[in-house]
Amino acid sequence: MKKLFVVLMMGSGLVAFGQAKKPAAKPAAKPAAAKAGAVTSLKTLNDSASYAIGISVANFYKQQGITNINTALVTKAINDVMVKKSPLLNDQQANGVMMSIINQAQESKAKGNITAGEKFLAQNKSKPGVKTTASGLQYEVLKEGEGSKPGITDTVTVNYVGTLINGTEFDNSYKRGEPITFPVTGVIKGWTEALQLMSKGAKYKLYIPQELGYGVNEVGSIPAGSVLVFEVDLLDIPSQKK
């Protein structure tokens, strides 16, 4: 069709030439035949559910940073399980492989943030008033408190604001209008350690390395591998009133 359109646009001179020497007509191209087993439509609820499962699985692992998947082996694994054929990996092996590949993908994704965080902490630790613990946690005392400190089994009530090292705020209990109460061990490692350094009424600024925070996991609006910065007010230790 495209060849005929070009010929007509070029005028009668070429038409005459075409009549003198008319090429053999080429058969119209046939549409490529669908591959055996290819699905081109969803005809039943089961078809739709099967396709939806594929979307769900693909989206999940894409979010984990895994994009290079051998879909033929995915299909084989599903078929092996469904027909009760002995799989190439047992459950323990499969779980181990998935943890390894997810960790690799997350570490690769987090690499830039980890490098930026390490540079930030290296510079921050030399600032006046900043203290560094053996674990790598950094903190500043903005206000000292009085009385006892929470222990590992205590519950605390705090107000806080959390930001990334670029100043982006990701959480703020002040804006919500109410403090939060939780067990000392019910939070990230950096908080668990810092809370036990604080007396009731104290306010600290925490600089939490990624390994004491969420590591290479992406949590909500917090990118993987991020250093976390918190200002924390220790308002009360309710478990010590019992």
From residue 89, give the alpha-carbon distance in Å to each of 57, 81, 114: 19, 11, 33
In whole angstroms, give the CA distance from residue 202 to residue 3.
82
Which parts of the chain sit beneath pLDDT 50? Answer: 1-34, 36
The reported pLDDT for the residue numbered 107 is 84
Q: What is the pLDDT of residues 224-236, one digit of tens each?
A: 999 999 999 999 9
The reported pLDDT for the residue numbered 165 is 97
Collapsing DSSP to helix, strand or coil, 189 comes out as: helix
In whole angstroms, give the CA distance from residue 98 to residue 69.
12
Q: What is the pLDDT of residues 12-51, one digit of tens each?
A: 332 333 333 444 444 444 444 445 456 678 999 999 999 9
204 neighbors 198 (Cβ within 8 angstroms): yes
In whole angstroms, give the CA distance from residue 85 to residue 209.
46
From residue 88, give the alpha-carbon distance in Å to each of 38, 68, 76, 85, 104: 25, 20, 10, 9, 22
The predicted model scores a pTM of 0.67
